[in-house]
Amino acid sequence: MGDGGVRHLLRRAAIGLLLAAAACAPRRSPAPSASGTLELRFLDVGQGDAALIRNGGKAVLVDAGPTDAIAGKLRALGVDSLGVAVATHNHSDHIGGMDAVLASFPVRFYLDNGDPANTRIQRTVLQLVRDRGVTYLQATDRTIEVGDARIRVVPSPVRDRPADQNDHSVALLLERGAFKALLTGDSERREMEGLLHKALATDVDVFKAPHHGSRTGILEGWLERIRPEVVVISVAAHNDYGHPHAEALAAYQTAGAHVFRTDRDGDVIVTVDAAGCYEVRTAHGGPASVARGGPAACAPPPLKESLP
């Protein structure tokens, strides 16, 4: 077993201990969200995707959910401007609220996959980007610095079927210290195969399940490579598509990941310190951490700290 394997086992042991401690611990006050903490928040937007990244006073939105309700959610979270708004791809469950975002907040940069979807919502979004003077970023291999965190932009390696938006999703790798979170939009097997060949990431802490937990986002060898500790599924309860599919849930559980779902947990909030130690809280679970992990140095607190 190499160093990476040892590190992975240590991290898994740490997250397991915390889960056990959290199960019998009283609620604690919320983790401080002062400067110095990176927040990755998967927003409960129903059947769609939206994630908010905040660090060092800067904010990045990744997808905008299916409706304009996203604007009110961002306002309620204290967002007053966005450094970047990203559309991983141009399906309406990812950009349905993007026009409301662009109309409601100053946005410095807009990044998408560059593919025409021919829909009214995409045309409206692109017109807003143009008319409001938002600087457009192509999905090229580039990095976005957000305070002391960085987002690596990875364009889809699939280029031969322009009609297939899912497999043209922009992938994002968020890193701070030793922490890594991977978001791949609604990527399906062809894109995931390409990303595997690019050796995008191994040992990620947090992985957003592709395509709302669809079976189309499960690829042999993928989870073995990225080995996520936490998987977040952005999905609506009782949706028409059967998301998340049982095969996907089984795969994530077999991989040993702790699975969170926005339909059951509400917003899923990951906070990360400068070293990469992270905690996971959920809107429905209250302020107590329900998972924690990171480098081996991020040992969970002694159990006595959690007792009355």
Partner 1 sequence: MSDREEIWIVDRFEGERAVLERALHERLEVPRALLPARAQEGDALRVTIRTADGESRLSIVRDEAETRRRAGEAGRILQDLKRRDPGGDVKL
Size of the site for partner 1 (CB under 8 A): 44
The helix (run of H) or strand (run of E) holding residue 173 is strand 171-176
Q: How far is the CB of 28 from partner 1 (least distance, A)?
A: 31
Contact 179, 278 (CB under 8 A): yes
Amino acid at the residue 151: I
User: 59 or 178, CB closer to partner 1?
Assistant: 59
Binding mask 158-197 for partner 1 (x = CB under 8 A): -----xxxx-------------------------------
- For residues 106 and 115, what is the distance between their CA atoms, to the nearest angstrom? 24
Q: What does R_g of the chain's alpha carbons equal in angstroms? A: 18
Residue among 58, 189, 225, 264 that touches partner 1 (CB under 8 A)? 58
User: 81 or 202, CB closer to partner 1?
Assistant: 81
| Antiparallel, parallel or unpaired: β 278-282 and 286-293 | antiparallel
Amino acid at the residue 298: C
- For residues 222 and 307, what is the distance between their CA atoms, to the nearest angstrom? 39
Cα 243 to chain centroid distance, Å, stands at 17
* 109 binding partner 1? (CB under 8 A): yes
* 142 binding partner 1? (CB under 8 A): yes
* 83 binding partner 1? (CB under 8 A): yes
* 137 binding partner 1? (CB under 8 A): yes
Residue among 6, 30, 138, 202 that touches partner 1 (CB under 8 A)? 138
- For residues 164 and 263, what is the distance between their CA atoms, to the nearest angstrom? 27
Q: How far is the CB of 116 from partner 1 (least distance, A)?
A: 4
* Residue range at the interface with partner 1 (CB under 8 A); choices 14-22, 145-153, 198-206, 270-278: 145-153
Q: How far is the CB of 178 from partner 1 (least distance, A)?
A: 21
φ, ψ of residue 63 to 5 degrees: the values are: 70, 160
Q: What is the DSSP string of 98-143?
A: HHHHHHHS-EEEEEE-------HHHHHHHHHHHHTTPEEEE-SSEE
Q: How far is the CB of 213 from partner 1 (least distance, A)?
A: 12
Q: Given the rule CB under 8 A, which residues bind partner 1? A: 58, 60, 67-68, 83-84, 91-93, 96, 108-110, 114, 116-124, 126-127, 129-130, 135-138, 142-147, 163-166, 240-242
